[in-house]
Structure 1
Amino acid sequence: MMQKIQRFGGAMFPPVLLFAFAGICIGVGTLFTTEAIMGNLASTDSFWYQCWNVILQGGWTVFNQLPLLFVVGLPIGLAKKQNARCCMEAIVLFLTFHYFLSTILSQWGANFGVDFAQEVGGTSGLTMVANIKTLDMGMIGALLISGIVIMIHNRYFDTKLPEWLGTFSGSSFVVIIGFFVMIPVAILSAVLWPQVQNGLSAFQGFIVTTGAFGVWVFILLERLLIPFGLHHLLYSPFYYDSAVVAGGLYSHWANMLPTLANTTQSLKSLVPEAGFTLTGLSKMFGCPGIALAFYATAKSEKKKQVAGLLIPITLTAIVCGVTEPIEFTFLFIAPALYVVHCVLAATLATISYMAGVVGIFSGGAIESAALNWIPLFGSHWSTYLIQFAIGIAFTGIYFIVFRTLILKFDFKTPGREVDSDEVKFYSKKEFRERNENKGIEGEVPDFAVLILDGLGGKDNILDVTNCATRLRVNVKDESLVQDDPYFKSIGAHGLSANGKAMQVIIGLQVAHVRDDFESLL
């Protein structure tokens, strides 16, 4: 089961990777089209406004078409063969499903408790998907339909038909089967989804009323799930679907930006639910405190080496919001420290929320600037001064707590390893000798070969996907996989193993490493 969950979590990431650039476009576009900031230059009839409005509307593409993106994105990671064809099949059958559902509701909607005559949006539970009026099933509906299509594709794509039926083979055969499968799925959706919508509305009311406690629990769980690679499954319904607000917190906040930029009223009073997107505060303010504690407690002769390790991975956390490189330097060495990190991260977010700080702060400084500081600083500068004051204070708290615990319990964090336990980095010569012994000839990607070697060789690999920073691999025999120090010795940030589900922590170049890795298979 863990293998399947890991593979699913990794497969969801291709669409998510598009959000950062889209968010920057929306943030900058909102900044330059807001009269409260730009004055008459941003009046709607000015050439300045009209040019920037083009950029702004283009930036909305990703958020306005999220279901379609997830429908197409899931097969990239889950289809076992012919991924591109599966993407095409998924989009065709997703549209077919909604045509079925739209027709069913337009004819018999009252029987399902749906007033199909209502306008889309609001509390109607209706939306438009590719110009089809239908039930608003959000990302969940997209993943459900795409998942069904992927199962049909994996099982029936290679089905051999008689020669005279050859034109119906491959993708055509998958779509034919899917066409008839979508009819009962559409009927079941018409029966069940209105009840789900009612439940989501009730959940939304509950989670908002929990206030600061709800924020603390959410941030704590999000951090605790990172080692298992399951944090995407927790936050995705909040951020990109309707678990808290219609359309997800990202889309909701972006829609609210013009209103927020034109008022000095408290952000928290206007968008209280945006406290759940404060997961990035620990990335920008907590990780520097951790890095400083590691440097301060490192052996004097290793401080320069430790600084070389910590500076790039800390900047990655602050600027890009990717924390796995720094977190995995101590996660397996001192798991107690990681739990402390999770508690401090939740506390930082909660105190900030109680002080009135809300917004899209789930990523790093780039995303935070685009969706918060740049478009809203003019009218909400005092909120962001409070945010930085609390954040910098927590940088100090992180430093004191981590330094105290490291020294008290003698945790072997970077720079404190026992010399005999230090990992060995392979030289180019040793690498070539290893390849020659394995019969590998010609130009090969060094890093990918060493990873494959550490995972037990290509015969031990079941499948491979990736998220933003990790190569996610399911293996046949976990006993053939090397330990965490081996993967650090070859240049990775570590290994997270859970049964047969392996996650090699690579960093932001993981997509290129995956290409090299797959070429070896």
Structure 2
Amino acid sequence: MMQKIQRFGGAMFTPVLLFAFSGIMVGFSILFKNPEIMGSLARESGLWYQIWNIIEQGAWTVFNQLPLLFVIGLPIGLAKKQQARACMESLVIYLTFNYFLGAILSTWGPTFGVDFATKIGGASGLTTIAGIKTLDTGMIGAILISGIVVWIHDKYFDVELPEFLGTFRGSAFVAMIGFFAMIPLAVVMAFVWPKVQGVIAALQGILVGSGVIGVWVYTFLERILIPTGLHHFIYTPFIFDSVVVEGGINSYWALHLSQFSSSTEPLKTLFPEGGFALHGMSKVFGSSGIAAAFYVTAKPNKKKIVLGLLIPATLTAVVAGITEPLEFTFLFIAPVLFLVHALLAATLSSIAFSFGVVGNFGGGLIDWIALNWIPLFSNHTMTYITQIIIGFIFTGIYFVVFRYLILKFKFKTPGREDEDEETKLYSKSDYKLKKIEKSLTEDKLVDTGKILLSKAEMIVKALGGKENISQLNNCATRLRISVVDENLVQDISVFKKAGAHGLVKKGKAVQVIIGLSVVKVAEEVELLMGNNLSI
């Protein structure tokens, strides 16, 4: 069950990868249209304003079509075969569902307690999906429909029909089944979802009213669940759905950025829900303290090697908000340090919130600068100065606590291993690339595609060969694999020689920490398996 949940969580991350760039472009568009910042250049009648208005409308695409993105994106990670066709089927069946739901409410709306004649948005509970006026089931509805379609697809896509019904095979057969399945589901949703919307509205008030405690619990769960891959289930509803604010924090923040930037009221008064998007504080300030502690406690003869490992990993965490390469260097060496990390991260967010820091701080410095500091700094200077001061204080706290625990309990963090384990650390940075490049040079393989292919070959071998791989998908930085026999999976050192950052094993569920090139590596692994190469 855990394996399936992890796979689902990884699939949810597929569309989430699109939000960073879109959010930055929305932020810049709003910034460059703000007359308080740009002066007369930002007149609505001017060419500058008009150009940035056009850019902004395009940048809103991802946020305005969020349900469609999840409907199309989930089958990429969930479907076991013919993922592209599963995406098409999911979209068609989801639109069919919404046509059914809209027609049911248009005909019998009062029966279900819905006034379908009211305008969409606000408290109406209505929205438009691809031009269809329907009940706003948000991301949950999209995930539900997509999950049903993937199940139908995997079960019935390859069903053999009589020759004279050949035109109804494959995707057509899946769409037919989905068509009839959506009718009763639409009826159930028309009855149930308005009540769910009421619960969500009440939940928003409870969570916002929970204040510092709510922020602490949310941040702690978001961090502590990272090793399981279940942290997606914590932050996704807050950031991208209507758990605390309509449309999700990401969309709501960007939509009201101009209003927030022009107001001199405290940001915490304007947007208290922004306390649930402070989990990126630990990515920037905590990661820096952890890295410093690792470097200081490393053996003198290994400090250069450790520095070579920590600089790219820390920069990735601080700038892009991707913390896994850093966190997984110590998670399975000393799990208690990860618990301490989660506790400190939650405390950092809650203290920052108590001092009035709110916003969209779930990522790294790129998001912070584009979506928070630049557009809002003029009227909210002290908020961000306060944030930076608290952050640096916690960098010091992270450093002191981690250094003490590492030395006190003699944890073998990077640079503290036995002498014969030196290559393990070295292979996580430049050495692992040298090893691969050396083997490729000997085999006269030189281009980037071949480098990744060689990495994929080594990973497949380390997994026990392609016959031992039953399922494969990926999230932002990790390959997620189901194996037939977990005993055939080799030691973590073998995966590191292939260029991986780490390995997570739990029964037949295996996660290989790759980094940002994971999508390409996953494609190459699939290619190797599909081509029946000798691995």
- Measured against the shorter chain, the TM-score band is over 0.9
| 1:140-161 deviation digits (Å, cap 9, x = unpaired) | 0001111111111111111222
Q: Residue 501 of structure 1: which of 502, 506, 509 is its match?
A: 509
| 1:198 corresponding residue in structure 2 | 198
Query: Matches of 2:133 and 2:184 in 1, distance apart?
Result: 19
> How far is 1:43 from its partner?
2.1
Matched, 1:464 2:484: no
What are the superposed Cα offsets for residues 305-354 of structure 1, whole Å, 9 maximum, x if unpaired?
Answer: 11000000000000010000000110011111111111111111111111
* Corresponding letter in the other structure for 1:312: P
- Given residue 449 of structure 1, which amino acid in structure 2 is its aligned partner? E
Amino acid paired to 2:340: V
Q: Cα offset for 1:434? A: 13
Give the Å deviation of 1:418.
1.1
Q: Does 1:62 align with 2:62?
A: yes
Q: Which residue of 1 aligns with 2:6?
A: 6
Amino acid at match of 1:37: I
State the TM-score, normalized to the length of structure 2: 0.93
Residues 1:353 and 2:353 aligned together: yes
Match of 1:155 in 2: 155
- Comparing 233-242 with 490-499, which one deviates more in the overlay? 490-499
Aligned mates of 1:251, 1:237 — CA distance in 2: 12
Contact 2:239/2:248 (8 A) holds in 1: yes
Determine what percentage of the aligned residue pairs are the same residue.
Answer: 61
Matches within 5 A, 1:20-39: 20-39=20-39
| Partner AA of 2:454 in structure 1 | D
- What secondary structure, in the 3-state scheme, does the structure 2 residue paired with 1:54 have? helix
2:378 and 2:126 mapped to 1: Cα distance? 36
1: CA distance between counterparts of 2:237 and 2:144? 14
Give the CA deviation at 1:433. Answer: 13
Query: 1:429–1:92: structure 2 CA closer, same or farther, 3 Å change rule?
Result: closer
Q: CA separation in 2, counterparts of 1:142 and 1:248?
A: 15
| Contact 1:26–1:370, Cα closer than 8 Å, also in 2 | no
Aligned-pair CA distance for 1:171: 1.2
Aligned to 1:511: 519
Is 1:481 paired with 2:489? yes
Q: How many Å separate the matches in 1 of 2:265 and 2:335?
A: 42
SS of the residue corresponding to residue 378 of structure 1 reads: coil
What's the offset of the Cα at 1:192? 0.9
- More moved, 80-89 vs 66-75: 80-89
Is 1:452–2:455 an aligned residue pair?
no
Question: Deviation digits for residues 187-238 of structure 1, max 9, x if unmatched?
Answer: 0101111111111111111111110010001000110000011101111111
Asked if the contact 2:437–2:451 (Cα under 8 Å) also holds between the matched residues in 1, the reply is no
Q: Say whether the 8 Å CA contact 2:452–2:521 is kept in structure 1.
A: no
For 1:450 and 1:377, locate their aligned partners in 2 and report how far apart those are by CA, in whole Å: 49
Aligned to 2:528: 520
Q: Say if 1:423 and 1:489, in contact at 8 Å, map to a contact too.
A: no
> 2:504 is paired with a residue of what secondary structure?
strand
CA contact (8 A) 2:436 2:498 kept: no
1:218 equivalent in alignment to 2:218? yes
Choose 479-488 or 91-100, whichever is displaced more.
479-488
Shift of 1:416: 0.4
Give the aligned residue type for 2:248.
Answer: G
Deviation of the 1:428 alpha carbon: 5.5
Tell me the distance in 1 between the aligned counterparts of 2:307 and 2:460: 29
Counterpart residue identity of residue 481, structure 1:
V
Structure 1 residues not aligned, in runs of 5+: 436-441
Partner of 1:408: 408
Residue 331 of structure 1 aligns to a residue whose secondary structure is coil
Where does the alignment leave 5 or more consecutive residues of structure 2 unmatched? 444-449, 530-535
Q: Tell me the distance in 2 between the aligned counterparts of 1:408 and 1:497.
A: 28
Do the aligned residues in 1 keep the contact of 2:452 with 2:520 (CA within 8 Å)? no
Q: What does residue 146 of structure 1 align with?
A: 146
Q: Which has the higher contact order (CA 8 A, sep 6+)?
A: 1
What secondary structure does 2:122 align onto? coil
Q: Give me the whole-angstrom Cα distance separating, in 1, the residues matched to 2:401 and 2:330.
A: 15
Distance 1:410 1:89 in 2: 54
Instruction: Tell me the SS of whatever aligns to 1:304.
Output: helix
Would the aligned equivalents of 1:67 and 1:142 in 2 still touch at CA under 8 Å?
Answer: yes
CA contact (8 A) 1:469 1:510 kept: yes
Q: Which moved more, 1:488-497 or 1:89-98?
A: 488-497
**2:133 is aligned with what amino acid?**
K
Q: Deviations along 1:238-260, whole A, 9 cap, x unmatched?
A: 11111111111111111110100
Q: Which amino acid is the alignment partner of residue 241 of structure 2?
A: D
Residue of structure 2 in register with 1:339 after alignment? 339
Matches within 5 A, 1:108-147: 108-147=108-147
Cα RMSD between the aligned structures? Answer: 1.8
Residue aligned with 2:212, SS: helix
Displacement, 1:379? Answer: 1.6
Change (3 A) 1:443 1:327: closer
1:121 partner amino acid: G
Contact persistence 1:228–1:496 (CA under 8 A): no
Report the count of equivalent residues: 515
- Counterparts of 2:315 and 2:342 in 1: how far apart (Å)? 19
